[in-house]
Amino acid sequence: MHITDDIRYVGVNDHDIDLFEGLYPVPNGMSYNSYVIMDEKIAVMDAVDAHFGGDWLANIRRVLDGRQPDFLIIHHMEPDHSASISLFMDAFPETVIVASQKAFPMMKAFFGTDYAARRIIVKEGDVLCLGKHTLSFIAAPMVHWPEVIMTYDQTDKVLFSADAFGKFGALDMDEDWACEARRYYFGIVGKYGAQVQAVLKKAAALDVQTICPLHGPVLQDEQLTEAMRLYDIWSAYRPEDTGVVIAHASVYGNTRAAAEKLAEVLRGKGITVVLHDLTRCDVTEAIEDAFRYDRLVLAAATYNADVFPPMRSFITWLTERGYRSRTVGLMENGSWAPMAGKVMRGMLEGSKDLTMLEPVVKFHSALNDDSTAQLLTLADALV
């Protein structure tokens, strides 16, 4: 695939994977992207997962047509992008690795060598000339590892963005970009909003016409503009849409019934409602929606004088990713000593700019007239 006249795609699709990073279901697989810049000197941009190293080398050799690569530029050392580095360096013994200072100790840890005789260390503002193409390097620490850099090709106006602007899903699958990019962002990069904002400011100063990420499709034209817009919203922790997410964790179904009752009432008032059963759903989908919408209701059963574990896990996912700037309602169930509301509120105390609504809907085992009245009052507050 030609990205520009001189830039070729040499990455691979993975349809064998079921869980990315052992956490994220990826029913449509993953892509591990790599690119080659053909010039007087040739630069290969990033490696791929170890299971696909042979396919990747075959793609590179096909593009090079007998030429030898001069540089292997490594933007990110996570193994889905770096695990084939040693294979590449053995196959092309004259190639020099270009990466940040912090990347090389990671190579030493992974491969037993830091390629001291075959490396160039680059930092913010450094430049590498390939001939017609001039590459400038951008430091992007903690987006989402500390060694990350990006590369801007001044000639073709291409930003090689490391894991930023990536998504779940292989490239040969036809699916909406935003949905799986949003789940990818909030699952993997979401904790590092401030660092993403810093990189977006750097990118805004460049004439970027193409983004080449390490996962997902190459972005151009309207899709690039939309991706930039969404990344600004996501990394600033602003709601993307108006609506109420109701996440519930029920032992025997009574808490679920209360959550569904609240959803029914809200929909009757014209409110967009998204329900997630935390005992059964993909929690990463629930996280995606919690960050997408401006309001959230947590409904959980008490369990061992605490909160039912699926809800505890969900709130931990939220707070670890910097959940903030939302309106939150609580519903708790407990047959003799409801504690879930207190626990959930305590878990959210460190989150910034949350508006906690009253009342906390409290019911013993199942809704009755009194707790239903509380539910209706909470619905009014949410509206």
Q: Following DSSP, what letter does each residue of 14-44 receive, concatenated?
A: E-S-SEETTTEE-TT-EEE--EEE-SSS-EE
Q: Is 249 helix (H, G, I), strand (E, B) or coil?
A: strand
Tell me: pLDDT of 132 over 90.
yes
pLDDT score for 249: 98
Q: Comparing C-alpha atoms, which of 87, 42, 33, 91 is closest to residue 64?
A: 42
pLDDT digits (tens, 9 = 90+) for 241-296: 999 999 999 999 999 999 999 999 999 999 999 999 999 999 999 999 999 999 99
Q: Is 141 helix (H, G, I), strand (E, B) or coil?
A: coil
Strand-pair partners of 36? 8, 44
- Angle of helix 177-184 relative to helix 221-235, nearest 10 degrees, comes to 30
At 139, give phi and psi (nearest 5°): -75, 130
Using CA atoms, how far residue 93 sits from 70, 100, 101, 119, in Å, is 10, 20, 21, 12
Assigned architecture for domain 7-235: 4-Layer Sandwich (3.60)
pLDDT score for 1: 85
Q: Comparing C-alpha atoms, which of 77, 127, 72, 84 is closest to residue 104?
A: 77
pLDDT score for 186: 96
Q: What is the distance between the alpha carbons of residues 245 and 286, in angstroms, rounded to a whole number?
A: 8
Q: What is the distance between the alpha carbons of residues 52 and 47, in angstroms, rounded to a whole number?
A: 10
pLDDT score for 112: 95
Tell me: pLDDT of 315 over 90.
yes
Tell me: pLDDT of 366 over 90.
yes
**Banded model confidence at residue 380, pLDDT cuts 50, 70, 90:** very high
Using CA atoms, how far residue 151 sits from 32, 116, 226, 308, 362, in Å, is 17, 22, 21, 46, 54
Tokens of 206: 């460049």
pLDDT digits (tens, 9 = 90+) for 134-149: 999 999 999 999 999 9
If you average pLDDT over residues 86-91, what whole number do you get?
97
**Whether the model pTM is above 0.85:** yes
Concatenating the DSSP letter of every residue in 200-247 gives: HHHHHTS---EEE-SSS--EEHHHHHHHHHHHHHHHTT--SEEEEEEE
DSSP annotation of 2 reads: B
Say if 7-235 and 241-382 have the same CATH topology.
Answer: no
Cis peptide leading into 79, omega within 30 of 0?
Answer: no
pLDDT score for 365: 94
Tell me: pLDDT of 225 over 90.
yes
342-345 long-range contacts (CB < 8 A, ≥24 apart) are 343/306, 343/307, 343/312, 344/298, 344/300, 344/307, 344/311, 344/315
If you average pLDDT over residues 101-129, what whole number do you get?
97
Tell me: pLDDT of 232 over 90.
yes
**Banded model confidence at residue 205, pLDDT cuts 50, 70, 90:** very high
If you average pLDDT over residues 362-383, what whole number do you get?
96
- Domain ranges in the chain? 7-235, 241-382
At 128, give phi and psi (nearest 5°): -130, 125
Q: What is the distance between the alpha carbons of residues 218 and 9, in angstroms, rounded to a whole number?
A: 9
Q: What is the distance between the alpha carbons of residues 344 and 247, in angstroms, rounded to a whole number?
A: 12
Q: Does domain 241-382 bear CATH number 3.40.50.360?
A: yes
Tell me: pLDDT of 123 over 90.
yes
pLDDT digits (tens, 9 = 90+) for 33-79: 999 999 999 999 999 999 999 999 999 999 999 999 999 999 999 99
The amino acid occupying position 288 is E
If you average pLDDT over residues 117-134, what whole number do you get?
97
If you average pLDDT over residues 1-28, what whole number do you get?
96
The amino acid occupying position 346 is G
Sign of CA dihedral 124, 167, 62, 79: positive
Tell me: pLDDT of 341 over 90.
yes
